[in-house]
Structure 1
Amino acid sequence: MDNGTRATFDRSTLRERCTAFVRERIISGELRPGEHIVEVPLSRELGVSRGTLRESLRPLEAEGLIVSDGRGHILVRELLSHEILEVFEVREALEVLAATKLAKLEDRLAIAAELRQLLVPLQSHDLAFGKQIELDLGFHARLVQLTGSETLVSTWGRLIGQIEMMIIAAGPQRAADRMRYAEHVAIADAIETGDSAHVAAVVSAHMGDFCRKYIEDALADELRAREIPHPATESRDAS
């Protein structure tokens, strides 16, 4: 390996490490939704130039985890309750379409078996939050990929960053139990039946349940941010 190739490799590896570092900070909640990513102290902490840091942030912006505010600032993406509803409306339509297409295939038993296998690690009760997110989204991504529809896959893929951010914003205490084996295996079981109406009902129920939970999380956070007492708190105080 010549020096030029080595230097390129080293820069690339450094950027990847910085990207992974910032992604982990977002997933862990150290960088909260809506928070500015301040380049100077972060680049010092990582021991890299601001240019290298900016390059490392580009993949996260492409994923939808961070956004520019149009004034030269980079923020961790924050989804409001109405945006979460919009994401789930589109996501439900896409995944109902995907699951019903799979239910009509002759090899649906093998497809259901593959999807169940992907879910096996979710039976563990000591998974790191980031790993849970990876497995959860991996299951849903594979559900869509198995249709063989490039349009469906690419359309669903554009939602990934927003889906990740609503899970991250909810945090492990609220979101972890929504990414368990039992919450997902019913979809694979429904596909195996070959009953399109049943499959659509199962996927819609799955999406509807979690849509409500994530919207409730977002509303609670929005109320807290405005320093307005949450209705549930007021009810408890009144009693």
Structure 2
Amino acid sequence: MERALQIHRVSVADQVAAVLRQRILNGELRPGMPLQEVPMAASLGVSRNTMREATRILSLEGLLKRNAHRGIAVCQLSATDVQEIYSLRRMLEIAAVLGSRSTEIETLSELQQTLEGYERAVRDRDWTRAVEFDLQFHSLLIRFHQNRRLESFYQRVIGELRMGMVLVDRGHNDPGRLVPVHRRIYQLLTAGKLKQCATLLAQHLDDSESRLMRVMNGKSSREHRSAEPSS
């Protein structure tokens, strides 16, 4: 009996969202920058409705934020946002690791494949793809909860970190050092050393939050200095 073919159709809105996503993650569209849907739709040769759907997709991913009075803009994280997101990550990811089982072969296999993709992206110095693999690795950990609603919730939370993590990886003295940490988390997980794995994961999340806060603080300081009138 032949297996049914899976046909994946990509809408025009999905394609537009992909273009905007890349522009956001590579820094062309900066945090806080307002987006004018009509001119942008015209520049891409699509209708306003298509552009609105594309921005809706990116809003769900946490990359854009719509304001009733100011329209839509690239999402800009505050220090409070970062603290709240990482607090949630610690609660969800550490509990997931402690509750994991070595019999969940499919998830462990996907973690291995994600690590390999992460290593390739870092070698190529493709920080946008590296961040996607990084986030995918942590998203896979949430599967150990075996709760699909929790996975969907986590995706919305983690989406807000994409831009910040790209900035962190670009500014890291040696981004390649981040890969062995994930590799060690995976090794401890597969070896069933869950308490050690949870401890390393907690330390990794603490370090990640600290790096992001330093990058954000440095960026804010530079923007403040550039806004000061020259004497």
Give the number of the structure whose alpha-carbon radius of gyration is greater. Answer: 1
Within 2, Cα distance between the matches of 1:106 and 1:180?
Answer: 24
CA contact (8 A) 2:58 2:64 kept: yes
Within 1, Cα distance between the matches of 2:26 and 2:199?
Answer: 34
Amino acid at match of 2:111: L
Unaligned residue ranges in structure 2 (runs of 5+): 1-8, 227-231
Counterpart pick for 1:122 among 118, 121, 127: 118
Amino acid at match of 1:220: G
Measured after TM superposition, the shift of residue 129 of structure 1 is: 2.4
Q: Deviations over 1:96-140 (max 9, x none)?
A: 0111111xx242687545423320122220052222122111111
Unaligned residue ranges in structure 1 (runs of 5+): 1-8, 229-239
Counterpart pick for 1:29 among 14, 23, 27: 27
CA contact (8 A) 2:85 2:157 kept: yes
Counterpart pick for 1:59 among 57, 60, 67: 57
**Secondary structure, aligned partner of 1:31:** coil
CA contact (8 A) 2:169 2:175 kept: no
Q: Hey, what does 2:103 align to over in structure 1?
A: 107
CA contact (8 A) 1:64 1:162 kept: yes
Measured after TM superposition, the shift of residue 27 of structure 1 is: 0.9
- Single out whichever of 162-171 and 46-55 deviates more from structure 2: 162-171
Matches within 5 A, 1:1-239: 13-102=11-100, 105-107=101-103, 112=108, 114-124=110-120, 125-170=123-168, 172-174=170-172, 177=175, 180-227=178-225
Within 1, Cα distance between the matches of 2:139 and 2:108?
Answer: 14
Give the RMSD, CA atoms, in angstroms.
2.7
Higher normalized helix content (fraction of residues) = 1
Q: Deviations over 1:67-114 (max 9, x none)?
A: 013214111000012221221111111100111111xx2426875454
Within 2, Cα distance between the matches of 1:208 and 1:70?
Answer: 35
Amino acid at match of 2:77: L
The answer to which structure, 1 or 2, has the higher relative contact order (CA under 8 A, 6+ apart) is 1
Within 1, Cα distance between the matches of 2:151 and 2:208?
Answer: 21
Within 2, Cα distance between the matches of 1:179 and 1:60?
Answer: 30
Instruction: Please list every run of at least 4 consecutive aligned residues from structure 1 whose deviation after the TM superposition is greater than 4 angstroms.
Output: 108-114
Amino acid at match of 2:212: Y
CA contact (8 A) 2:102 2:190 kept: no
Count residues in correspondence: 217
Amino acid at match of 1:116: Q
TM-score by length of 1: 0.80
Measured after TM superposition, the shift of residue 31 of structure 1 is: 0.2
CA contact (8 A) 2:107 2:143 kept: no
CA contact (8 A) 2:142 2:151 kept: yes
Specify whether residues 220 and 150 from structure 1 end up closer, same or farther in structure 2 by C-alpha distance, changes over 3 A only: same
